[in-house]
Amino acid sequence: MDKVKTLRCASDKSISHRSAIFSSIAYGTNTIKNYLFAQDTLNTIKAFKKLGVEISIDNGIVSIKGNGKYLKEASDIIDLGNSGTGMRLISAVCAGQNFLSILTGDNSLKNRPMKRIIEPLAQMGATILSRKNFLAPLAIFGKNNLSGIQYNSNIASAQVKSACLIAGLYTDEKVEFSEPHLSRNHTEIMLKQFGVDLTIENRKITLGKNRELHGNFEIDVPADISSCAFVMVMCALKPNCEAIFFDCLVNPTRTGILKVFSDMGVNYEILNKKAMCGEEVADILVRYSPNLNPFYIDGEILPTLIDEIPALSILALFAGKPSILKDAKELRVKESDRIKSIVENLKKLGVSVEEYEDGFKIQPSKKLQKAYIETHFDHRIAMSFSILKALGYSLDLSETKSPNTSYPNFFEHLKYLGS
């Protein structure tokens, strides 16, 4: 093996969004270290500046002087770019404000489903206008005193859960949320850090009496396991590569990727477990893994690795047998229709792929033909097929700017691992 490389991947996007949102509606001033300075998360900061929150960035440290729960009316439309998390969570904050907010985004975001958060927020008393089929832009007429809700979500979605819990901060009435499978739980962890009372029983969350957020502490954002997965796949496929990825988030609601790595025979080790901002964090050592098994992914594990499926589709090409994905219809409504994007681009490379409504079956193939890859401006599609290019396969991507939404240093890190 060559010398062991070391890398700290992009900071966690989910935690960065939430740290900015909760600090903005808390009492007190918070500082955030290792905030993700990517387009999506910077748009969240811009949104709260428009809503009257005092936010400064100095030497990579974000300082937020919270307004408390009630903000100021923005004088302009709030543009959240490509961020579904930003749109859905900030909608919940705006639902609790006694003024009009208009939220928009880029073409991709304006075609992503918003009914899932419009319905519960409307049940709680907010008035939300949208385009046909519940699409953004959203015009939100909020109110300071929302109604309570007992919401049983039919999908496991951290964004829907977070929207209900955030809106629940603006009512004294009973607020309960339940979901069919456990989705990522960063909102629950961070609300507790800010002093909010909540109880968790299986997959049901209930807000308690204290719903005020209090800050005056430092948040240190770990590295994003979803982003790390893409460069880890590169390392697993690159002969003689060995790398340690520092400070990776290993929250159990996010580590489905590691279980699949284990099932596939990816050579990795968990090192130096610790806690950061209430989250489980570890360093992960990954080595070249030439003898890979196929994956079969379905059911409850999907919410824990939904964003990493594009990277796993690349890993599947190098497995010994076909890999199968089921129950992943949610991929149809991401930044692109990711099932279609993966299948069509793999076929261009000469790979035999069978498409299902909720997934696909990929036949392994290390001999790939030259192809033009259409990313559909989806950062995770662009990052996935860039792995193949970095490994020496002949392909061209329609664009390479989309990773800036979540991982601005992605190509730099890919080049470093490939050197």
Residue 337 among the catalytic residues: no
- Tell me whether residue 112 is annotated as binding: yes
- Tell me whether residue 287 is annotated as binding: no
- Tell me whether residue 157 is annotated as binding: yes
- Tell me whether residue 254 is annotated as binding: no
- Tell me whether residue 401 is annotated as binding: no
- Tell me whether residue 307 is annotated as binding: yes
- Tell me whether residue 18 is annotated as binding: yes
Residue in 12, 79, 283, 307 annotated catalytic: 307
- Tell me whether residue 338 is annotated as binding: yes
- Tell me whether residue 370 is annotated as binding: no
- Tell me whether residue 334 is annotated as binding: yes
- Tell me whether residue 13 is annotated as binding: yes
How far apart are alpha carbons 380 and 112 in whole angstroms?
16
Which residue ranges are tagged as binding site for 3-phosphoshikimate?
13-14, 18, 157, 159, 307, 334
> Which parts are annotated binding residues for phosphoenolpyruvate?
13, 84, 112, 159, 338, 380
- Active site residue ranges: 307
Residue positions forming the annotated binding site? 13-14, 18, 84, 112, 157, 159, 307, 334, 338, 380
